Structure 1
Amino acid sequence: MTGEDSTREAIMDATFRALATHGYADLTIQAIADEFDKSKSLIHYHFDSKADLMVAFMAHLLEGFIDEVEAGADADPRDRLRRMTEIVVCGLGGDEETRDFHTALLGMRAQSPFDADLQDQLVENDRLIRGVIADVVREGIDAGQFREVDPERYAALFRSAIEGAQSHDVILGDDAPTEEAVAGIESYLIDDLLVADGADESAGGETES
């Protein structure tokens, strides 16, 4: 990693922390600089504005998400979909900072209809994530683990379900039925809808009767 790449990575990390602390509406370059161990002017050197930084940050999140999913590339397709569900709905840590960050993301998404550049990046993120999901589904179909479905249509449904569960968790807080939503996605959208009759129930090799 070059020095410039390292600086941009540090700015992305500072942006994550600032978003979790302040939310999107109250986020400023100064708030990000307060989380950054170098000068505020360095942030301005790399990004012309908060809007420019937010677009780059959404692209950064996409890269991180794909890296996390690909880290489990050796797992079977069913487990990869389950992993995506956990990452999107609960985050990697499942802690208070994660929920605060998801709250900030919801605020950012709500502003996208009024910010064409941000909306374009969110559209691109969505397109690429649905592509990853569709590829996993194709892999499962080719392996005989999943029944024949339209991968793109399934990806749109699955993506909407996990994003909706994440938003529900933010909006309702501790009263959100997040555990039930995750269990429902795994049961109805993965096991009941997608898994082929006779496919392995688990890594232990149990099969459906």
Structure 2
Amino acid sequence: MGSDIFDNPVNTREEILAATYRTLRDRGYADLTMQAIGEELDQSPSLVYHHYEDKDALVRACLEYLLEHFRDEYSYETIDDPRERLEEVVDWCFGTADTDDDRQPFVRTVLELRVQAIHDPAYRAHFTRSDQVFAETIAAIIRAGIETGDFRECDPNAVAETLQTVFFGMLSRLFSTDADGWAEAVSNEVELYLESRVYAE
């Protein structure tokens, strides 16, 4: 999930959200302004203000749009192969540690926004919901796998929360330290965890 979501905006709202995504990716949150988004759109900032009252309302709308896309893409209704689907989600998450991953600049900005949530109730509400959607999506995949016999009996919610906590811990370390060489080891341990706790023998 990334910039490809915004490749073909179908209306002005999606064009604004696409411009917001690109501006966040390229400049980060601190340098994001309505003027910068207008420039990315090749439009006057007044167009942006017509749809959103300020940059934080716009950023949250962009995050919500991405969240809904994630939920639709990995929804329970479309699970044909639970193990393959879970591996897709895990690869999507932990692939962020790859320095060649083109999502890194935007994911770094999302981590910045999570810090905003410490003092901003609106961002806190968004990330609370985001974490719930993320965990519910993983738990649904695991329940589907238990039903098909692809996964062993386990606590889907606990597994989902564990994977999510490791993922966001990895992001925090990835973008706040200069340490290297550890991400692959963590990814391997996650795979061992899934082999021993989730995947059927």
TM-score interval (norm. to shorter) = 0.7 to 0.9
Alpha-carbon shift at residue 32 of structure 1 (Å)? 1.8
Deviates more, 1:179-188 or 1:64-73: 64-73
Q: Which amino acid aligns with 1:45?
A: H
Matched, 1:38 2:38: no
| Match among 161, 165, 168 for residue 170 of structure 2 | 165
Residue 39 of structure 1: CA displacement?
2.7
Residue 82 of structure 1 is matched in structure 2 by: 87
Query: What's 1:98 paired with?
Result: 103
CA distance 1:84–1:119, change in 2 (3 Å): same
1:119 is aligned to 2:124: yes
Residue matched to 2:197:
193
Indicate the residue corresponding to 1:52 in structure 2. Answer: 57
1:62 aligns with 2:67: yes
Inter-partner Cα distance in structure 1 for 2:192 and 2:182: 15
Q: How high is the TM-score relative to the length of structure 1?
A: 0.81
- Pick which of 133-142 and 48-57 moved more: 48-57
The whole-number CA distance in structure 2 between the counterparts of 1:46 and 1:136 is 36
Q: 1:182, 1:46 → 2: CA distance?
A: 41
The equivalent of 1:204 in structure 2 is: none
Calculate the TM-score normalised by the size of structure 2. Answer: 0.84
SS, match of residue 103 in structure 2: helix
| Structure 1 gaps, min length 5 | 198-209
2:156 pairs with 1:151: yes
Is 1:26 the equivalent of 2:31? yes
Structure 2: runs of 5 or more not aligned: 1-8
Deviation at 1:173, TM superposition (A): 5.7
CA contact (8 A) 2:74 2:85 kept: yes
Cα distance in 2 for partners of 1:81, 1:172 equals 29
Q: Secondary structure at the match of 1:114?
A: coil
Change (3 A) 1:9 1:174: farther
2:3 maps to what in 1? none
| 1:78-135, Cα deviation, whole Å (9 max, x unpaired) | 22122112222335x9746421111111111111121111110111111111111111
Aligned residue identity for 2:198: L
Is 72-81 or 34-43 further displaced after alignment? Answer: 72-81
C-alpha change, 1:68 and 1:155, in structure 2 (3 Å) is: same
Q: Say whether the 8 Å CA contact 2:76–2:141 is kept in structure 1.
A: no
- Cα pair 2:154 2:197 within 8 Å, conserved: no
CA distance, structure 2, for counterparts of residue 66 and residue 119 of structure 1:
19
Residue aligned with 1:25, SS: coil
